[in-house]
Amino acid sequence: MISSQQQKGGELLKRILSLVGARPQFIKEAVVHKVFEREGVNEILVHSGQHYDANMSDVFFEVLGIRQPDYFLNVGSGNHGEMTGKIMIEFEKVVLKEKPDVILVYGDTNTTLAGALVGAKLKIPVAHIEAGIRQEPKDMPEEINRVVTDHVSSYLFCPTKQAVLNLEKEGITKGVYFVGDVMYDLFLMMEPKFSYEVFETLNLFEDDFVLVTLHRDFNVDVPEKLERILNELRAINRVKKVVFPMHPRTRKRVFEFGLVGLLDGLTVIEPVDYLNLMGLLKRCWKVVTDSGGLQKEAYFAGKRAVVVMPDTGWRELVDVGWNVLAREDEIAEKIFQDDETTYPTGLYGNGDAANKIVDILLG
């Protein structure tokens, strides 16, 4: 029988159960896992299967050196309630079997919420990496997920000082830590390994194209809105080439809404792995995105982003004037506006967030 804690140098190490299910979670877990491994901690990895496209999950296990998960819940896609419920049912079985000391969840997906609720109901401390992020609209699925997760978590690892203040406004001060962003850790760790294969295959020129990613339901699930966005991208494409690795959800909607013709002239490609995406990011001129991860990664790479959202959890990037929010009908205007802004440093810590997280969990 495996004990709930492991012995190392006379000390008891906590047994950690990590739940992941979407691209940002895979790569955050990869960074934290390296520190757990170094400290001799048995971190059990569970993959919910929320995102199951080969280029969006399997490839991360390969290129980031992540071991295969100990458990694969295989829930697939579905409506929010169905997906969250399925993950809870299957994850609870794993938790009851493994009896972890801490459940570690990442970000703001249905997987995050499911893991946090299971931990809270079973009275197992939940640690939330990327706690304290807040944004409008409040009825956005990701916002609901992160708020509920924060309110049932025992360890709240904040990537920014603003996140700490957000939690304080909600009366959450216990167990709150400003550790910096593990995505910045990852960026610095992986930068020497970034791949420029896709960049070269597409015959692109540095600083001469706009990198686009779009997948949020409020952008791609409304036909009129998606049509306006695609027309804005076509306007940009007349001046700067648009390179668009298209999310499966977005591709499905484009075909469903009969908007395929609006893709003519755009460089639309399949989703690319993290290393090639970062290669494209490093070589692009600017970014258009509704991804919480990519708007930050753009900052890490010294690139400015037009964020197609009514608000962003990364308010500090907008407040300092580096990134800019845009409605779906003003993307081209925002991307071409002449604004010389000095690069703001140090917004996301010093690149040692994973070390701080593990130190706190083992403390």
In eight-state DSSP terms, residue 196 is -
Q: Residue 9: pLDDT band by 50, 70, 90 thresholds? A: very low
CA distance 169 to 33: 31
Q: Give the CB-side neighbour count of residue 13, counting CA atoms within 13 A.
A: 18
Q: Is residue 341 part of a domain?
A: no
Are 143 and 174 in the same domain? Answer: yes
Q: Is 170 helix (H, G, I), strand (E, B) or coil?
A: coil
Q: Is the pLDDT of residue 1 over 60?
A: no
Residue 213 sits in the same domain as residue 321: yes
Same structural domain, 212 and 161: no
Q: Is the pLDDT of residue 56 over 60?
A: no
Q: 205 and 285: one domain? A: yes
Residues 243 and 357 in one domain: no
Do 143 and 54 fall within a single domain? yes
Q: Is residue 244 part of a domain?
A: yes
pLDDT of 7 above 60: no
* Residue 51 lies inside a defined structural domain of this protein: yes
Is residue 17 located within the same domain as residue 91? Answer: yes
- Mean pLDDT, the chain, rounded, equals 91
Confidence of residue 2 (pLDDT cuts 50, 70, 90): very low
What pairing do the DSSP bridges indicate for beta strands 5-8 and 11-14?
A: antiparallel
Q: Is the same domain home to 37 and 153?
A: yes
Strand, helix or coil for residue 178? strand
Catalytic residues, which ones? 215
Average the pLDDT over each of 12-26, 100-114, 240-254 and give the range with the smallest value. Answer: 12-26
Dump pLDDT digits (tens) for 191-211: 998 999 999 999 999 999 999
Q: Give residue 269's domain range.
A: 195-336
| Per-residue model confidence as pLDDT tens digits over 292-324 | 889 999 999 999 999 999 888 889 999 999 999
- Please state whether beta strands 267-269 and 286-289 pair in parallel, antiparallel, or not at all (unpaired): unpaired
| 25 C-beta neighbours (distance < 10 Å), count | 27
Count of domains observed in the chain = 2
Specify the residue for token string 């910045």: 184
pLDDT for residue 119 is more than 80: yes
Judge whether 143 lies within some domain.
yes
Task: Please tell me the predicted confidence (pLDDT) of residue 30.
Answer: 87
Cβ count within 10 A of residue 224: 9
237 and 103 co-located in one domain: no
The Cα 117–Cα 149 span in angstroms is: 7
Helices (H) and strands (E) in the chain, counts: 16, 15
User: What's the 3-state SS for 263-288?
Assistant: HCCCEEECCCCHHHHHHHHHHCCEEE
Q: What is the DSSP string of 128-160?
A: EETTT---S-TTSHHHHHHHHHHHH-SEEEESS
The whole-number pLDDT of residue 355 equals: 97
Question: Does residue 187 sit within a domain?
Answer: no
At residue 12 the predicted structure's pLDDT band, cuts being 50, 70 and 90, is low
For 131-154, the pLDDT digits (tens) are 999 988 899 899 999 999 999 999
85 lies in some domain: yes
Please give the full DSSP string across 205-229, using - where no structure is assigned.
-TTSEEEEE---HHHHSSHHHHHHH
**Which residue in 9, 69, 81, 61 sits closest to 39, CA to CA?**
9
Residue 3 pLDDT > 50 = no
Residue 169's CB is within 10 A of a number of other CB atoms, namely 9
Query: For residue 260, how many other CB atoms are within 10 A of its CB?
Result: 12
CATH, residue 355: 3.40.50.2000
Please tell me whether residues 161 and 223 are part of one structural domain.
no
Do the Cβ atoms of 210 and 286 come closer than 8 Å? yes
Q: Cis check for the bond before 137: say yes or no (omega within 30 of 0).
A: yes
| Spatial CB neighbours of 338, under 8 Å, sequence gap ≥ 6 | none
Res. 331: pLDDT tops 50: yes
Whether residue 356 sits in one domain with residue 317: no
Confidence (pLDDT) at 54: 52
C-alpha Rg value of the chain to the nearest Å = 20
Query: Does residue 311 form part of some domain?
Result: yes
Same domain membership, residue 239 and residue 172: no
